[in-house]
Structure 1
Amino acid sequence: MSGRVRRQQVIAEILSRRPVASQEDLRACLHDRGIGVTQATLSRDLREIGALKTMRGYQLPSENGAGALGGTNGTPKPSPLSRALAGFVTSVEPAGNIIVLHTGPGHAQLVALEIDRAGMSGVVGCLAGDDTVFLAVTAIPRAREITREMRRMAELIDPSGAPR
């Protein structure tokens, strides 16, 4: 196993246990395990494993850190939209054919960008402020479907549809 792969596995293991406030804190955790790394390499590793800087610190978008490494345990790597929703969205509410997403301050633009990039069927427009995203959807039934899917991706509900 290469040093990069091993280092990324250790990073994922650390982040799967708890969010880490800063890259410097993560470097200290790695140092405690005998792994030296530069800030540039650590930044690249975090990007490659899909870690996000959220309001709680650096973390993986799901409880299963290994899955975020791109399928090393058979789990598919989360999409950029799933990572953004899981890392930044605090609520998803339908309002007719409009969907309103709330994020922490300053994160709505990133979420809107990933929604636009995803090219979701039925989404005709996306508008973001500082902490709110509005999605215009073609029809109310489609807005309900997208709301359910976004709540699931944001990890606000479990796969059965029950709130978390």
Structure 2
Amino acid sequence: MKKEIRQAKIEQLITQNEIGTQEELMEILAQNGIKATQATISRDIREMRIIKEQNAKGKIHYAIFKGGLPSEEEKMYNAITESVIDITLVQTMNVVHTLPRTANVLSAIIDELEVSEVVGTIAGYDTILIISKNEQDARLVRDTFKKYLKNE
């Protein structure tokens, strides 16, 4: 199947349904006669600038991002503002608590940016461990996050 046709169908399905996971999207695509791998779906989501947003009842679902193309740094700052609840510095690491199901997205953005103060990240359901080379770099990471926290 041509990418353009598949992506048009993905846009239609996301607009008409509240789809929350790649697995759900793969299933509904299959029901519509389109077979795609998880890697293909993931690539389509990135190319189409599909984001996750919360509805009025708090359910997270995919949506097509409308608006100007943000820089990678803006994506990180927006993700911090929208998803981070708290950050705790522990020597050369920061423990970041996020809203449920948002840790992986923020972690991927940080990894993609290749932030010089970050050696690596480990993400779970609602927590990210950000590892730095030294305490000074870890403090810089914490201070950057705190600037963008809603409750700060």
TM range (shorter): 0.5 to 0.7
Listed as ranges, the matches of 1:118-137 within 5 Å are 118-137=113-132
Equivalent pairs counted in the alignment come to 102
Match of 2:103 among 86, 108, 114: 108
**Aligned amino acid, residue 94 of structure 1:** L
For 1:117, the equivalent position in structure 2 comes to: 112
The yes-or-no answer on 1:148 pairing with 2:143 is yes
Paired letter, 1:118: L
SS at structure 2 position matched to 1:120: coil
Distance in 2, matches of 1:101 and 1:90, equals: 8
Gaps of 5+ in 2: 1-14, 17-47, 61-65
- For residues 142 and 84 of structure 1, what CA distance do their matches in structure 2 show? 20
Q: Counterpart of 2:95 in 1: which secondary structure?
A: strand
Instruction: Specify every segment of 5 or more residues in structure 1 that has no aligned partner in the other structure, as ranges.
Output: 1-22, 25-46, 59-67, 157-162
- 4+ runs deviating over 6 angstroms: none
- SS class of match (1:150): helix
Distance 1:51 1:128, change over 3 A: closer
Match of 2:45 in 1: none
User: Counterparts of 2:110 and 2:116 in 1: how far apart (Å)?
Assistant: 11
RMSD: 3.2
Percentage identity across aligned positions? 21
